[in-house]
Each structure stands twice: as C-alpha cells, then as structure tokens.
A and B are shown apart, each in its own frame.
Chain A
C-alpha cells in the first residue's frame, strides 16, 4: 500500500495540471495573446497579474494555463507511441533472434547513425508543418534507444527459468512474450518512458525554432522557457514559473509511471531492506 502513494501523487499532479490546461479558457484571467505594451515585465505576486507579465505585457499565468495544451498532448501521445513501437520491435528482435533481429537491428542502427537534426530537417523539406509532421518529428528517432534496451532485456529474460518452464510445457512464442517477458519489461520501460516524457516536452521548443511545432504567439511551456533566456538575470520570474511547471509535470509522470509499475508488479513490494 505504501507504494501506491506514489501512484496517487503522480496521478493527482497530472490530473490537476491536465485539468487546468483543459479548462484554461475558463480559468485564465486574461487573454494569453493580448499584448499590453505599457505593462511589460510586471513583477509577480501582485494584482492583477499574479505571476507577472512577459516582454510584451502578456499575463504569465494565462500563458501557463494555455501553454501545456499542445505539450501535454504531444508528450503523452509520443511517449505512448515510442514505448509501444520500441517495446514491440525490441521484443521481437530479442526473442526471435535470427533474421528478425537482423532486420530490426539494421533499422535501429540506421536511425542511430544519422544525426537527429538531419531527420528533422528532411521531414521539414518534405512535409507541410502540421500536427502529424510534429508527431513524426518527435518520434522518428526516439523509439530506437528503447528498442535496443528492450531487446537486451529480452535476450536475458528468454533464458530465465519462467520462460524455459513455460516452453517446456508447450507454450507458444506469443504466450511467452505476453505473459512472461512483457511484464518484466515494464520497470525499465517505465523509467525510460517517464524520462522521455520530459524530453518530449522540451524538444517541442527546439522544433518550434525550426518551423514546426508551436508558432508564435501561442504559448508553450518549453518555448516560454527559451524566450526567458535573455531575461534570466533581469526578470527571473519569466523563467522560474515555466520551469517549475515542467518539473512538476515530469515529476507527476515519473511518479505515476513508477507507481503503476509498483502496483502491477508484486515483486516490487519487497525492497532490499525487507529481504
């Protein structure tokens, strides 16, 4: 039960923030796009702008509320996609070996050998900017590492007692995969997935500067972080608030991820101290 505290914390954090983002049109005190040139850089913790205003006089709180909508959606989707694709291919390569491994490894090595920026730029050149392109750009390279890690673990898992036992009893490959191997991958995938989640949120900013992703003046947390760069020393509130919220979101995802895994996996409920 102790471990479920983690999952609940994570869930609460994410639901609150996700909910706030969803309800942004109702919660937001100001129009996040409204430029007020006579009110630039208003300091935080004063009415009416509780979190201050930015370089063009726009309300920071409102921008934060709206800023997560695309980030959260994309990060969640991308994490799910990356995990699924990565795990699937990794499992197949690790379990079946032979030519399956050969093909998957070939594809993996190709993606690894070519710098990410090249992929992104090539995508830019071929596709129109849009949600689909964005998704593709975020995910194209990220499933690769996961696939290799999954493959590695599967290689070891298939030699384990459970699997041998199951096969001795005549179980088919898919049964082994689903019942024995997949659940054992969750812990690792959980850690990597929740860390990747944070990565996606931040990567969105980099993509925006290349022409895909959020275009100004729409707010986005990671973009707000980057916009705060010149004012790091002069108006730190512009940097601190988006940074805090991103941290909280990543924390929430991490807690949820590890909490879920703890709840699903009985073995985790014993720490080494209890062994």
Chain B
C-alpha cells in the first residue's frame, strides 16, 4: 500500500516537472511568427546583380546611408574626413561588426569590395546601375591605413563623395562572397540584421534575423512575396494573407484609399525620390518659345492633380529637384490660369496649335496617368493648344523622345543618388545627356558655370547656394516642368507592429516588425 502510493506520487511529480520544463523551453524558444509582406517585383535579382538584393531587405549594409532628412549618415563607416584639396577621403570604420559568415568587417574587407567594384563595373541592375566612374569619379587608389581606416585617393577633387556613396553606392559584402568575375558565388553575405535564407525567383524570399548583428537585432523572420498586380495585393491584405506592402508602387492611391476605409488597416507614407515631370521639346515650335512653356506650367493646377487623382498622396513641386533631396529649395508653386491665357495669346494670337503629348504605357500600372494626361489636355485646350495624347509602349516612347517626335512628354524620374549634380548635369547643363537627347534644348550660361563649379566646391554652404540658384534658373526655363513628388503608400494591417517608414531614407523598419 505504502510503496504504491509513493510510486504514484513520485510519477505525478516527475510528469509535472517534465511538463513544466517543456513549457519553459517552449516559452524560451518562442519563435516569432513569420511576418508576410509583399511587393510588386522580386527584390532579389540574384547572383548576377551587383547588389543581389535591394537595400529594403537589410541583408547588406553600405558604408554610407541616408538619414531621415536625406543627408548622408554613417552606417558601416562611422565618420569620414576629406583633405583640403578634396582628393583624399579617409573613412573610419565601425568596429565590432561581423559579416553573416562571421568574418570580421574591417579595412581589408573594404578594400576587397572596392576591388570588386572595379571588376563588375559597369553593371546593370533593376535598382540602380553600378558605374564606378560615376560613383567614384577618378578613383586612383584604395588603401587600408590600419584595421579600421580606409583611404580613397582621387585624381580630381570629389567634394560630395558621401552623397554619391549613399546606399547602393557603397554596398559591403564578405570578401569570400565573390566569384572570379566579381559577382556572387552564393547567397549574399552582408552585415545587415537579416540573412537571406531562401529565394524562389519571382515568388518569394525569406529573411531570418542575424543573431550576431552589431546593432538592434531583428525581431521576426520575414517572408516577402512577389505579387505583381496591385488589386491582388489589395485582396491579399484584406484576406490577411499578407500584412503589409513594400517598395515603390506598393499600392495605387485609389486602392489604398479603399483599403483604409477598413479599420484593420493603417498607412505609412514613404516619400520617394521619384517625381513626375513634363518634358518640353524646346527644339521646335511651339515650345521653342519659353513664354508658351511657362503658360503650360501656369495653367496646370498641381494641387488638383494630387488631391483628386492621387487622393492627397503626393507633394507638389515648384522646383525641379525632388524634395527628397536635402538640396531642394521650396520654390513657389504657381497656378495662374489668367496669366497662362495671356501668355498663350501673346505667342499664338488667335490661332490654335496642335501638339503631341506622349507618355509610356508602363506608367499606367502604377499611376493614373491617363486621367492626368486628359486633365492636362483639357486645361491646355483653353490656351489654344490642342494636345493629341499618345500612349506609347516603353521602347517606342524612348524612341519618340530621342527622335524628338513629341512636343510634351510626361514621365517620372528618380534621383540616382543623393548628389543633385547628376540630375542637373543630365537635364540642365547645355550639353547634358538628357537635355540634348530629349531635345529639351535648354541653354543657360550661368547654370552651366554653376553646375561645373559645384562639382569641385568643397564648402557645403556654398554648394547649397549654387544648387539653389541652379534650381531657380531651371525653373524659369520651363523646359523640364516639375509636377509633384511621389510617395509610396505602405498600407499595413494594424496587427503588424513596429512597421514604420523612415522619412526620406526610403526605408522601412523591418527589423522592428512583429505580428500580434
């Protein structure tokens, strides 16, 4: 009797202990549920891409990133300084950083990466092409001064190097990650809070937190699905198959509005560097006359477009430089139909003129360009301008622009890097590639001088003034008419916590995200 009871008792205690242990263990090993989000394209172009993945996925990190105001900020490089003449840049690297293969991040690794840049350049990518002579113009030497200091020496002064290096310009990978030709020999091994663990092309990729990350560790594993159609992303969100959207064109304004009517959802507005412009063919009548170009700009009510067609999601622009750039100056936005009519009358008299208004068909997937064009068309009609709208296939559109077979072209344009000189060179400089190729025909000596000078100007204050002046001049040229700046609408399910947009950083706090 006794021993029986004792044994029973003993067994009960043992079982309870086991159960308790199991509970404790499972609580400790509590994996966060996978956060599932989606984008319209595959953010992992793969081995033959210079970066393998987009910055958004935080698998790799650059030396220099952007802060929320758009200025260059430290990432893997903690600080930097430049010599008097602007030819020698010294970068001090962050310590205690490990690559995802647990090799240390140090000056040697940086030098190896620059070596790789030389080998792969010029390299194409769906994000930004990598061209070493554009990001690091005239780079002569890259040397490791000590374990955490790297020196870059250039042929000529490069005052704005950090601006050029932002994000895609200075991606760092483990030196063991490359093939002979400089591209990847396997999954990317960066220093970021996430490791790429699985990738099915055009379907999804999976990210898992990197346990030895140097900064704030990621909370949840992430699955990024590829869903090309906006309406399908909408449905997936509603059906709670995904909890958020990411990347440019995450959701069209109309769909976002509709989704937000549902209490379950909220939105993070992420400003992008992509802005919409009207390219005016200045090499032939009628837009060879700046007065008529000005009339066009004055006649368009940008506020209306953003408010009505984009549901308020966008920033109207008075200057050609997107507000995502820290150098952008807020020039006044003009809307004066009376003045526009007056100017048009001055130029055209009583006659009417026919013009071709073209835009590419691929833009229709993301933006309400058709309505936008029809609106502009209706406004121009009042000025005596009969615009014939032509939607052209991407290649045909480029052809038409190059051949100058258009009078007005509507298209978006992003900033390739944080240095506005690039965009000014393309579209404002008299013999700039865009200016010439697209027949904008803008020529201003003062602007030319400023742009060329700014390339070597070391004083940040002075550069700011110069760029401000360039913007003013460009505005008065009305050859590249800015409409408004795009924003990405990252609609997400409120159950997804910690999902924040980081201002002009073009980024989302994936590592803080978790599902409730």
Q: Is there a direct interface between A and B, measured as CB atoms under 8 Å apart in the complex?
A: yes
Taking CB atoms, residues of chain B closer than 8 Å to A231 are 254
Majority secondary structure, A binding face: loop
Contact with A along B337-369 (1 / 0, CB 8 A): 000000000000000000000000100100010
| Selected contact of A125 from candidates B364, B390, B396, CB within 8 Å | B396
Chain A contacts with B in 204-230, Cβ cutoff 8 A:
208-211, 215-217, 227, 229-230
In contact, A37 and B375 (Cβ under 8 angstroms) = yes
- The CA of A55 and the CA of B373, in the complex, are separated in Å by 12
Determine whether A40 belongs to the interface, using a CB cutoff of 8 Å to chain B. yes
B374 touches A37 (CB 8 A): no
Interface centre among A125, A217, A231 (most CB of B within 10 A): A217
- Give the complex CA separation of A56 and B304 in angstroms: 12
B308 touches A40 (CB 8 A): yes
B236, CB-defined interface residue at 8 Å: no
Task: Report the Cα distance A149→B140, complex, angstroms.
Answer: 69
A124 part of interface (Cβ distance < 8 Å): yes
Residues of A within 8 A of B392 (CB): 210-211
Are A124 and B304 neighbours in the complex by a CB distance under 8 Å?
Answer: no
**Is A230 touching B368 in the complex (CB atoms < 8 A)?**
yes
Q: How far is the CA of A216 from the CA of B252 in the complex (A)?
A: 21
- A36 (CB) vs chain B CBs: closest residue: B378
Q: Are A124 and B374 in contact (CB under 8 A)?
A: no
State whether B371 touches A210 (Cβ < 8 A). Answer: no
Q: Are B389 and A217 in contact (CB under 8 A)?
A: yes
- Shortest A94–chain B CB gap in Å is 38
Taking a contact as CB atoms under 8 Å apart, the answer to whether B361 and A211 are in contact is yes
A229 cross-chain contacts in B, Cβ below 8 A: 231
Interface centre among B254, B258, B390 (most CB of A within 10 A): B254
Q: Is B269 an interface residue (CB 8 A)?
A: no
Residue in chain A with minimal CB distance to B259: A233
B54 on interface, CB distance cutoff 8 Å:
no
**Which residues on B sit within 8 Å (CB–CB) of A121?**
393, 395
Main secondary structure of the interface of B (DSSP, over half): helix
Q: Are B389 and A215 neighbours in the complex by a CB distance under 8 Å?
A: yes
Are A209 and B391 in touch, CB under 8 angstroms?
A: yes
Which of A125, A209, A217 interacts with B361 by CB under 8 Å?
A209
Tell me, in angstroms, the Cα distance from A230 to B368 when the chains sit together: 9
B443 interfacial by beta-carbon distance below 8 Å: no
B370 touching A227, Cβ below 8 Å: yes
Residue contact B374 to A35, C-beta cutoff 8 Å = yes
CB of B255 closer than 8 Å to a CB of A: yes
Cβ of A46 under 8 Å from chain B: no
A254 CB, min distance to chain B CBs, angstroms: 29
With contact pairs A56-B371, A230-B368 given, residues A216 and B391 touching in the complex (Cβ less than 8 Å): yes
Contact between B364 and A233 (Cβ–Cβ < 8 Å)?
Answer: no
A217 with B308, Cβ < 8 A, contacts A211-B361, A227-B370 known: no
Within 8 A of B (CB), among A227-242: 227, 229-234
CB–CB A217/B377 < 8 A: yes
Report Cα–Cα, A116/B257, bound state, in Å. Answer: 36
B388 within 8 A of partner (CB): yes
In chain B, positions 246-269 with a C-beta closer than 8 Å to chain A are 252, 254-255, 257-258
Smallest beta-carbon distance A31→chain B, Å? 11
CB neighbors of A among B274-308 (8 A): 304, 308
Fill in one digit per residue for A107-149: 1 if any B CB lies within 8 Å of its CB, else 0.
0000000000000010011000100000000000000000000
> Given known contacts A40-B308, A56-B371, A211-B361, is B378 in contact with A35 (CB within 8 Å)?
yes
Q: Bound complex: CA of A215 vs CA of B254, how far in Å?
A: 23
Q: When the two chains form their complex, are residues B258 and A234 in contact, meaning their CB atoms are under 8 A apart?
A: yes
Neighbour of B304 across the interface among A37, A129, A210, CB < 8 A: A37
Q: Which A residues are in CB contact (< 8 Å) with B377?
A: 216-217
Tell me the bound Cα distance from A231 to B252 in angstroms: 11
Q: Return the contact of A124 from the options B231, B252, B255, B393 (Cβ within 8 A).
A: B393
Enumerate chain B residues within 8 angstroms of A232, measured Cβ to Cβ: 231
Given A208-B391, A234-B254; A216-B396 close (CB under 8 Å): no
**A120 → B minimal CB distance (Å):** 9
- A211 adjacent to B371 (CB under 8 Å): no
Nearest CB on A from B259, distance (A): 10
Bound: A230/B370 CA distance, A: 12
- A56 adjacent to B361 (CB under 8 Å): no
* Residue in B309, B368, B374 whose beta carbon sits within 8 Å of that of A217 in the complex: B374
- A215 pairs with B396, CB closer than 8 A: no
The residue in chain A whose Cβ has the minimal distance to the Cβ of B399 is A125
A211 and B390 within 8 A (CB): yes
Chain A hits for B304, CB < 8 A: 37
Are A216 and B370 within 8 A (Cβ)? yes
Interfacial chain B residues near A211, Cβ < 8 Å: 361, 390-393, 396
Given known contacts A216-B391, A234-B258, is B378 in contact with A56 (CB within 8 Å)? yes
For B257, what are the chain A residues with a Cβ–Cβ distance below 8 Å?
234
Q: Please give, as numbers and ranges, the residues of chain A lying within 8 Å of B309 by CB-CB distance.
A: 55
Closest to A56 in B: B374
Complex Cα distance A37/B375, Å? Answer: 9
Contacts of B255 in A (CB 8 A): 230
Residue in chain A with minimal CB distance to B373: A216
Q: Which of A208, A216, A230 contacts B374 (CB 8 A)?
A: A216
Partner of A215, one of B258, B390, B393: B390
Residues of B within 8 A of A (CB): 231, 252, 254-255, 257-258, 304, 308-309, 361, 364, 368, 370-371, 373-375, 377-378, 388-393, 395-396
Residues of A within 8 A of B (CB): 35, 37, 40, 55-56, 121, 124-125, 129, 208-211, 215-217, 227, 229-234
Give the top 7 A-B pairs by smallest Cβ distance, nearest first.
A35-B378, A230-B254, A216-B389, A211-B392, A209-B361, A217-B374, A210-B393
A-B contact pairs, 11 of them (CB 8 A): A37-B304, A55-B371, A121-B393, A210-B396, A211-B361, A211-B392, A215-B388, A216-B370, A216-B374, A217-B378, A234-B254
